Structure 1
């Protein structure tokens, strides 16, 4: 099974013991991907206080960053953006962020239109407002 594990050298490391992706047949399943930057705790558009709590954030900046991280993982693991078939979106504030998220999403996905599910979650493992879980063809 180890030969099916895929990782990207360009994307941020996972925050736990799991790969960026796993290949099964002609499908690539991505683990949850957030907007963090590689080799940094920096999260685009997020301002934290001294305790690490979110003071403010820009959901559009986080969307653009998470989409770029997904793109890098797809490319480095044998697929590509245009081969996405399913996207699961986790937002921490659906009421405030869905409209902005949906606008940015439409710009990035208008030509490929994968299936999508969007849900609100209470929190994510790091101080982020969005995470994606994706599936693509190889």
Structure 2
């Protein structure tokens, strides 16, 4: 088993690698929309206590997909290697339609299995997180 630490994706918020390779499978840790080297989140407005005032789910979707791509690339994989995606949204009713529209653009050709669930909160003030598995050749 090897650990993958991406030089492009945002730093993990805990003691875990961006991904682990086990045989020909690559397991990504939860990936959010933050940008490397910053605590800022694309499309998110926070108050003084770091509570979400407003957010743009479309911007967060694009950012999280880019972060997944960074981790895949740093692991020697490609977008097309994704076989399973678990999506965590904090507001299914408000965000699912926009998420689904953006997802369809990114996964037009490669369509991995997908599960989408609503969660009460995520570890940082974000509205989306992905958990992915890729099959390597």
Q: Which secondary structure state, in structure 1, belongs to the residue aligned with residue 96 of structure 2?
A: helix
Alignment correspondent of 1:11? 9
Alignment correspondent of 1:34? 32
Distance in 2 between the 1:92 and 1:16 partners? 20
Distance in 2 between the 1:75 and 1:84 partners? 12
Shift of 1:81: 0.4
Aligned-pair RMSD on alpha carbons? 0.6
Q: Which secondary structure state, in structure 1, belongs to the residue aligned with residue 114 of structure 2?
A: strand
Distance in 2 between the 1:13 and 1:52 partners? 19
Match of 2:62 among 39, 61, 64: 64
Shift of 1:78: 1.7
Distance in 2 between the 1:136 and 1:78 partners? 11
Query: Structure 2: which 5+ runs fail to align?
Result: none
Aligned residues: 136
Alignment correspondent of 1:125? 123
Residue deviations 1:41-100, cap 9 Å, x none? 010000001110000000000000000000000010121101100000000000000000
Q: Which secondary structure state, in structure 2, belongs to the residue aligned with residue 98 of structure 1?
A: helix
Alignment correspondent of 2:108? 110
Query: Structure 1: which 5+ runs fail to align?
Result: none
Distance in 2 between the 1:111 and 1:15 partners? 32
Name the TM-score, length of structure 1 as normaliser: 0.97
Shift of 1:7: 1.1
Q: Which secondary structure state, in structure 2, belongs to the residue aligned with residue 32 of structure 1?
A: coil
1:54 matches 2:52: yes
**Stretches of 4+ moved more than 3 A in 1?**
none
Q: Which secondary structure state, in structure 2, belongs to the residue aligned with residue 90 of structure 1?
A: strand
Q: Which secondary structure state, in structure 2, belongs to the residue aligned with residue 103 of structure 1?
A: helix
Name the TM-score, length of structure 2 as normaliser: 0.98
